[in-house]
Amino acid sequence: MYFETHLKTYLSVSTIIKVKKKGLIMKKQSLNSSQTKKTTTTLMQWVGGKVRLADKLVETLPETYNNYFEPFIGAGSLFFKEVPENGYISDMNYELINCYKIIQSNVEELIVDLGKHEFNLDYYMRIRSLDRDLEVFNKLTDIERGSRFLYLMKGGYNGLWRVNQKNQNNVAWNKKTDLEFDYDYIREASKKLQNTVIEHKDFMCIKDNIQKGDFCYFDSPYDNSTNEKSYTKEGFGVKEQEQLKELCDYIDSIGAYFLLSNSCTERTLNLYSKYRIEYISMKQNISSNKDKRVNTTEILVSNYTNQRAVNNQINNVEVAI
């Protein structure tokens, strides 16, 4: 193929936080060590991904719903844990969506192509630089582009997908030479995607499709995060955060459900003040130095109280990415 021709959490639980539920402080609850051992495999490491929270997020979903929407699918930690019967996933990251479509429909061909990759600096830089030459890049098949995407996510630094204004990936190599793909999980992900509609669209597109009784999970680039400007070349800033809140208002008005993750900022607290807010205290490793960890607070916003686990609380979680 053309591609071949041209290129040869750590997790712990510590102090319990308070959870606000429409003015009431819910009873504190800790997670024991057996609970911390639960993990959810995903196709890729993803900055801001919810792999370590997936088990608890599932418990916060409505007891029942019709269709499942997730317009910022990312690594899909919640989606792959829930495996909804009728799923609609989308994202503005074309390479990500193309990859999901290939996993859904051409998984064996993808696996063959993944087997050709090498994990070293020279090879990584050559694969990454493919998008610098559009004549070469545009001749790649969808399978080759999906393979390239998974390779860059595996070989790049800390599960980061970042592009410049020219839509060129500029993530550094992670310096790991002993990596390998989990082909069994990729095949399993393909099975989980079979009843799913996968689209390359803006998050506002769900307004035309979501109906009463449906559910939507939003895990957009966070407010005041560095990722808001580099996840796609279009960026995701204040205007988009306000549009997202307006979409949540619409979902609420038609009798559908939403769950939203975001950073705890003055803007987000003001935007979602009328909804149910839970606070999650995180310790996040943002560099290769394990000593350089920062405490952050995130929020979970929802417009419903009929959670699967009535007393569910997401507590203080330490996550290294």
Mean pLDDT score, 202-211: 95
**How far apart (Å, rounded) are the C-alpha atoms in residues 192 and 194?**
6
How far apart CA 261 and CA 280 sit, in angstroms, is 10
| pLDDT tier for residue 236 given thresholds of 50, 70 and 90 | confident
What pLDDT was estimated at residue 35? 36
pLDDT in tens, 105-161: 999 999 999 999 999 999 999 999 999 999 999 999 999 999 999 999 999 998 789
Per-residue pLDDT reduced to its tens digit, 48-96: 556 678 888 999 999 999 999 999 998 999 999 999 999 999 999 999 9
pLDDT the model gives residue 318: 45
Domain with CATH 3.40.50.150 in the chain: 39-79+87-92+202-223+234-320
The answer to whether 46 is annotated as binding is: yes
pLDDT score, position 225 = 59
CATH 1.10.1020.10 residue ranges in the chain?
93-200
Dist CA 282 CA 266 (whole Å): 18
* Percent of the chain residues past pLDDT 70, beyond the cut: 74
Please state, in angstroms and as integers, the Cα–Cα distance from residue 180 to each residue in 152, 174, 215, 283, following that order: 12, 14, 35, 28
Let me know: does 241 contact 223? Beta carbons within 8 Å.
Answer: yes
Q: Is 219 annotated as a binding residue?
A: yes
Answer whether residue 36 shows pLDDT above 80.
Answer: no
Question: What digits encode the pLDDT tens for the residues 242-300?
Answer: 999 999 999 999 999 999 999 999 999 999 999 999 998 876 655 555 555 667 889 99
Across 24-28, 166-170, 311-315, least confident range = 24-28
The tokens for 166 are 């020219």
Q: What is residue 280's predicted lDDT score, i.e. its pLDDT?
A: 86
Question: Which CATH number describes the domain made up of 39-79+87-92+202-223+234-320?
Answer: 3.40.50.150
CATH of 93-200, one of 3.40.30.10, 3.10.270.10, 3.40.50.300, 1.10.1020.10: 1.10.1020.10
Is pLDDT above 60 for 214?
yes
91 is in an annotated binding site: yes
For residue 224, name the pLDDT band (cuts at 50, 70, 90): confident
3-state secondary structure of 263: strand
